[in-house]
Amino acid sequence: MQSTALPHRGVMRRALACAALAIAGAAPVLATAQTPPGPGVSPRIDAIRKSGELRVGVLQNAPWLIENTTGSGEPWSGPAWLLANEYARLLGVKLRTVAVSHETKVPVLAANQVDMTISPLGETPERLKVVDFVLYSSTSICMFGRADNARFSKATSVDDLNNPEVTIAYFTGGAEENWVKERFPKARLRAVASSGATAPVEEVMARRADAAPINRVPWVGLQRKVKGLAVLPQADNCQHSTEKASPVGLAVDKNQGPYLDWLRQVAKTMQPKLDADEARVIQAQAQ
């Protein structure tokens, strides 16, 4: 019969001491995950420290980077701004914003006009040829329909909409057009001219279509403005959909290994805060 006697106190003290040493030994490892490379390791970081500022390209792109035009408070907000401020803090330098456009937000990196572009960029094969990414979010697609429409409400997944009985509306020339054609080859497709709205809501509400695609970010606002809608995937109100998913992050110039590695380590550590701030912005914009 196995003994059920408690361990001797001396044994317990030694075990606790070992555990304390193990925790203490792990602490420096956690700390160094965010410590910037030392002098001579990264030319980019050396240059940033010498100049005393971290130059970041900015252009609004909700919900990741929002400009504050009120004249008071922080000039920008959102996950991208949180991350940029953390980089500057860890480097011990000031954060300097450089306005960029859709045309210049990538070229400014190779031209050394900024140290990173924090205006959120979608990672694409074309962009990966000229820049490297620090990814912290993604865009994706939700499918919505009327909650009282049986053809939509009986579907439990996006796959169920790939059905000859289901009509799916999409904007001609829209970002989702090709994806809809590939994703739902069995469904009846209804192409409509763009009305300037974020999705063909009128087609769904008038029952000319059973479902339509919408980006996960504006979906939160749409469901508050238009009552009686349902969404797929249902989990977390479709905020973690993997349909037509595209990674999003900040960009830096190519071939900056130690700099890029450090940026990614910090972003990984910051991920819970970035996720929470993104959710906050989305909810605030949907009010």
Q: Check which CATH number belongs to the domain holding 201 and give it.
A: 3.40.190.10
Range of the domain at 268: 43-139+246-285
197 within domain boundaries: yes
Same domain, 128 and 154: no
Residue with tokens 């900024």: 114
Residue 211 phi, psi dihedral angles, 5° rounding? -155, 160
264 within domain boundaries: yes
Same domain, 65 and 152: no
Residue with tokens 């001609």: 172
How sure is the predictor about 17, in pLDDT bands with cuts at 50, 70 and 90?
A: very low
66 within domain boundaries: yes
Same domain, 48 and 92: yes
4 within domain boundaries: no
Same domain, 154 and 195: yes
Alpha carbon distances (Å) from 269 to 33, 87, 116, 117: 8, 12, 19, 20
Same domain, 231 and 203: yes
Neighbour-count burial of 219, counting CB atoms closer than 10 A to its CB (0-12 exposed, 13-18 middle, 19+ buried): buried
How sure is the predictor about 73, in pLDDT bands with cuts at 50, 70 and 90?
A: very high
121 within domain boundaries: yes
Same domain, 254 and 126: yes
What percent of the chain has pLDDT above 70? 89
How sure is the predictor about 76, in pLDDT bands with cuts at 50, 70 and 90?
A: very high
Residue with tokens 């192409």: 191
24 within domain boundaries: no
Total of domains in the chain: 2
Same domain, 52 and 135: yes
Same domain, 197 and 108: no
Least-confidence region, from 15-19, 33-37, 82-86, 275-279: 15-19
Q: What is the dihedral of CA 109, 114, 117, 118, to 10 degrees?
A: 170
Same domain, 223 and 257: no
Same domain, 170 and 98: no
Same domain, 106 and 118: yes
Same domain, 217 and 268: no
Radius of gyration of the chain (CA): 25
Residue 29 phi, psi dihedral angles, 5° rounding? -65, -45
pLDDT at 4 over 70: no
First to last CA, the chain: 66
